[in-house]
A and B are shown apart, each in its own frame.
Chain A
Amino acid sequence: MKLKLTTLALGAALAAGPAMAELVFPSLSYRTGPYAANGIPFADGYQDYFTLLNERDGGIGGEPIRMIECETGYNTEKGVECYESTKGEGALVYQPLSTGITYQLIPKATADGIPVHSMGYGRTSAKDGTVFKNIFNYPANYWDGASVAIKHLLDINDGSLEGKKIALVYHNSAYGKEPIRTLEELSEKHGFELSLLPVDHPGQEQKSQWLQIRREKPDNVIMYGWGVMNQVAIQEAANIRYPMDQFIGIWWSGSENDVRPSGAAANGYKSLTFHNVGDDFPVFADIQKYVVDSGKAAGAGDQIGTALYNRGLYAAMLAAEAAKTAQGIHNTKALTPGQMRDGMEALEITEAKMTDLGLPGFGPEFQVSCENHGGNGLVAVAQWDAAADSWSLITDFVQSDQDVLGPLVAEDAAAFAAESGITPGC
């Protein structure tokens, strides 16, 4: 009980924080814990892009960026601590990179008026901006991923999946369960048979699931995995000689870390992505010059150009562009979280803009609006080439089946609105 007094005294000392003259971007990263292998490249990419903007352009619109990193270890309790400790610093937008923490922050951040950008994760129905006013999940979400995976399968099967068997191997958590509803709808529409194979956290033990796949011989396997689960699944698939080009992972199951451990056996494995792969973009020269060569690279600096690094970079780029938009709308340099929200809602990404930033063709074009916080759901398929040790896009960015997804999003958003007493509207 005595400790309380000490903590209280500590609190008084901490309350005198620094002045808020910068644009504050918290990074709720996880460089430790069971998912660190995936958390590190994303955090590095996110941080390096902001470092680049500070070093090259002096921040965004002349206003320097301050990035606060907070370690969550993919743990929701630490996520709460990180959120509470950074929100008072003037945090503009949160990108927790964890579906669990996102669910936690949705009500909290909405009450505090701080936007959350859950890029390609989190609650899918946050696409409905009339209900989720402060939550954004552009450019694509889990249901887009499921739909595009099926579209790709339709393409390679001459437009029909009638009578095919498709298995979903998923992380048995809020994240992994997301696509089930969509896939069930799509299985009705296209006439394929869906079987569900949950894998419990952390996913090192998948023998029984893959035994079942071996027995049932599904035509295709879709995977929603994260962390060590991906590597194990790809290895198990290789062990039962499952054809890799029939195996599609969501974007969180498509990093170099996931395929490299299986070596040549992983050749041909496919993964979805909503941004381009590789480091063949002009911006990487700038990163080399301003960030790496000056010794300011985040982490060990060895992740540049990997799939998840690019995703972190893309997230930072979208945040920076939204901040620019917000500065334009409100005609100010220093931003408040509310102004940042307006910037995100008015964000428009065009090919010309991306070329200007040194990222030509890096992601799909999209425009955010009050009704649509989720972009247009454009997703591409990448394939792993084990010999070349690299990913390459094998399709264009194709749009998900909006006829199926639209009603699902509306339904889930309406349920959330009713549950939490929100009146939808712009």
Chain B
Amino acid sequence: MLYRESGDFSSTYAQDSQTFPIKFDRYRYYFVLFIAIVVIPFVINDYWVNSLFLPFLIYAIAAIGLNILVGYCGQVSLGTGGFMAVGAYACYKLMTSFPDISMLVHVLISGLITAAVGVLFGLPSLRIKGFYLAVATLAAQFFLVWLFNRVPWFYNYSASGQISSPERTFFGIIITGPNTEAWATYLFCLMFVIFSAYVARNLTRGSVGRKWMAIRDMDIAAEIIGVNPLRAKLTAFAVSSFFIGISGALFFSIYLGAVEVGEVFGIQKSFLVLFMIIIGGLGSIFGSFAGAAFLVLLPVALKIVGVDWLGWPTDIVAHLQLVIVGGLIIIFLIAEPHGLAQLWRVAKEKLRLWPFPH
């Protein structure tokens, strides 16, 4: 009944190839956007924005970035934490060096700097594949964290080696530092999320994305049909790192406000984002959102249920959380290896026929 395409006629190519070709799906998408942009900013408070929405939105950008590299181009990367750190430190240096420039510019330039670093560390991908590439990117992860810990220039010679974000504005509205309004930080991050998802979606269904997928599916065949592996792989690294850099910059400046590189951008961050796209669905933009939501919201939801409602001891809930998240990951990988995105696809198919499946 829902998601039916009958009566939904396309009369132009543009209509036929749009992202949401089914009318119901399109309106649902507009509805979600409407809620996210117009309704939520009026009802959120500090708790909701700092505990749920900011981490969800920022991790969604990182997951989109990693999904481009791993899910679309097939290049396994364990360097996400390191690349996020590049974005964060680039943003910090820009924020402190050019205090009068808008945060929008700083975040975008941080993304570009990360893209350059990503291309640099993507060079080995031309020679090595699979697990070996994973190890090479792992080296990037450790090297970058070590670099930001070791060279005082990156943290402006502060005694503790921490970076903390000073107060900066965007069109006169404070969006970093302690005196921010919940709606301002939320909308600022949402803007980047919509931008990233839009760009990623349109890149991945265009010629660039098709080249990435050709490389992913079989690189030799792709080369024979005329895909340049150098350009395809390096553009994937660049675009992926650009998004990851943006997410790192937002993670530091908007969400946390103070960062210690080893603790925040360590190897566990790389794994977390990788888990997000594996659970969400490799090679799917929706999957990036679903995976980020799953891994951000689930621990908070478990905490609220366990500690606040049931009154269990905090350590038991924290341990249960590990058990439940771990168990769910295993269940997902066995029952639905293509992730939450595939579940969503199946659900849509079912809904089309519902309530008369035959």
| B-contact bits for A153-178, CB 8 A (1 contact / 0 none) | 00000000000000000001111011
Contacts of A107 in B (CB 8 A): 164, 177-178, 257-258
Contact yes or no, B318 A7, CB < 8 A: no
- List A contacts of B48 (CB < 8 A): 7, 11
A200 on the interface (CB 8 Å rule)? yes
Q: Does B167 contact A (CB under 8 A)?
A: yes
Q: Does B51 lie within 8 Å of A1, measured CB to CB?
A: no
Q: Do A104 and B256 have beta carbons less than 8 Å apart?
A: yes
CB neighbors of B among A68-92 (8 A)? 69-71, 73, 75-77, 80-81, 84-85, 87-88
Partner pick for A177 among B47, B160, B166, CB 8 A cutoff: B160
Distance A10 CA – B44 CA, assembled complex (angstroms):
12
Q: In the complex, which range does the number of interface residues on chain B fall in? A: 35 or more
B15 at the interface (CB under 8 A from A): no
Kindly state the separation between the CA atoms of A172 and B149 in the bound complex, as whole angstroms: 8
How far does the Cβ of A95 sit from chain B's closest Cβ, in whole Å?
Answer: 15
Are B43 and A8 in contact, with the CB atoms below 8 A? Answer: yes
Task: Kindly identify which residue among B167, B260, B289, B303 contacts A100, using a CB–CB cutoff of 8 Å.
Answer: B260
- For B300, list chain A residues within 8 Å (CB): 81
Complex Cα–Cα for A3 and B47 (A): 17
B160-A123 in contact (CB<8A): yes
Q: Of residues B35, B48, B255, B264, which shows the largest number of chain A Cβ atoms within 10 Å of its Cβ? A: B48
A226 to nearest B CB, angstroms? 12
Q: Are B160 and A10 in contact (CB under 8 A)?
A: no
In the bound assembly, the distance between CA atoms of A146 and B288 in angstroms comes to 48
> A16-43 CB contact bits vs B (8 Å, 1 = yes)?
0000000000000101100010001000
- The distance from the CB of A264 to the nearest CB of chain B, in whole angstroms, is 32
Contact of B159 among A80, A88, A178 (CB under 8 A): A178
Indicate if the CB atoms of B262 and A200 lie closer than 8 Å. Answer: yes
Chain A residues within an 8 Å CB radius of B322: 32
B293 within 8 A of A: yes
Residue from the list A84, A174, A420 in contact with B160, Cβ < 8 A: A174
Among B160, B293, B297, B308, the most chain A Cβ lie within 10 Å of the Cβ of B160
**Pairwise interchain contact A173-B46, C-beta atoms closer than 8 A:** no
The reply to whether B164 and A71 contact each other, CB–CB distance below 8 Å, is no
Please tell me if B169 contacts chain A, counting CB pairs below 8 Å: no
B18 at the interface (CB under 8 A from A): no
- Within 239-255 of B, Cβ neighbours of A (below 8 Å) are at 255
Residues from chain A with a CB closer than 8 A to the CB of B262 are 172-173, 200-201
CA gap between A122 and B29 in the complex, in Å: 46
Question: Would A84 and B50 count as touching, CB distance under 8 A?
Answer: yes
A273 to B159, CA, bound (A): 23
Asked if A173 and B263 make an inter-chain contact with CB atoms under 8 angstroms apart, the answer reads yes
B314 near A3 with CB under 8 A, answer no
Is B342 among interface residues, defined by CB-CB distance under 8 A? no
Q: Which of B32, B55, B162 contacts A103 (CB under 8 A)?
A: B162
Q: Find B51's partner among A84, A110, A299 (CB 8 Å cutoff).
A: A84
Partner of A84, one of B47, B177, B266, B289: B47
Residue of B nearest to A198 (CB): B149
- The answer to whether B160 and A31 touch across the interface, beta carbons within 8 angstroms, is no
Which of B46, B178, B255 lies in contact with A110, CB distance below 8 A? B178
A308 vs chain B, min Cβ distance (A) = 16
Whether a CB of chain B sits under 8 angstroms from the CB of A108 is yes
Give the docked Cα–Cα distance between A137 and B55 (Å).
30
In the complex, what residues of B have CB within 8 A of residue A181's CB? 159
B199 at the interface (CB under 8 A from A): no
> Assuming the A-B contacts A1-B289, A76-B263, are A7 and B46 also in contact, with contact meaning beta carbons closer than 8 angstroms in the complex?
no
From known contacts A4-B40, A81-B300, A178-B159, infer whether A73 and B318 are also in contact, taking CB-CB under 8 Å: yes
Q: Give the complex CA separation of A413 and B47 in angstroms.
A: 30
How near does chain B come to A223, taking the closest CB pair, in angstroms?
18
- Asked if A420 contacts B166 (CB within 8 A), the reply is yes
Complex contact A103–B35 (CB within 8 A): no
Contact residues in A for B256 (Cβ distance below 8 Å): 76-77, 80, 104
Residue of B nearest to A178 (CB): B160
Report the separation of the CA atoms of residues A400 and B192 in the bound assembly, to the nearest whole angstrom. 50
Instruction: Tell me whether A412 is interfacial, beta carbon within 8 Å.
Output: yes
The contact string, 1 if C-beta is below 8 Å from chain A, for chain B 42-64, is 01001110111001000000000
Contacts of B260 in A (CB 8 A): 76, 100, 103, 173-174
Task: Say whether A173 contacts B161, CB under 8 Å.
Answer: yes
Inter-chain CA distance A319–B290, complex, in Å, is 43
Residue from A4, A100, A106 within 8 A of B35 (CB atoms):
A4
A residues less than 8 Å from B52 (CB atoms): 7
Determine if B178 and A71 form an interchain contact, defined as CB atoms under 8 angstroms apart.
Answer: no
Interface centre among A76, A180, A412 (most CB of B within 10 A): A76
Q: Which residue of A lies closest to B289 (CB)?
A: A1
CA of A7 to CA of B56, assembled, Å: 12
B40 A71 Cβ-Cβ under 8 A: no
Q: B127 at interface (Cβ–Cβ under 8 A)? A: no
Residues of chain B from 25 to 42 with CB closer than 8 A to chain A in the complex: 32, 35-36, 40
**Nearest residue in B to A123 (C-beta to C-beta)?**
B160
Q: A177-B161, A201-B263 are in contact. List 6 more A-B contacts (CB 8 A).
A: A7-B52, A8-B40, A31-B314, A80-B255, A111-B179, A174-B162
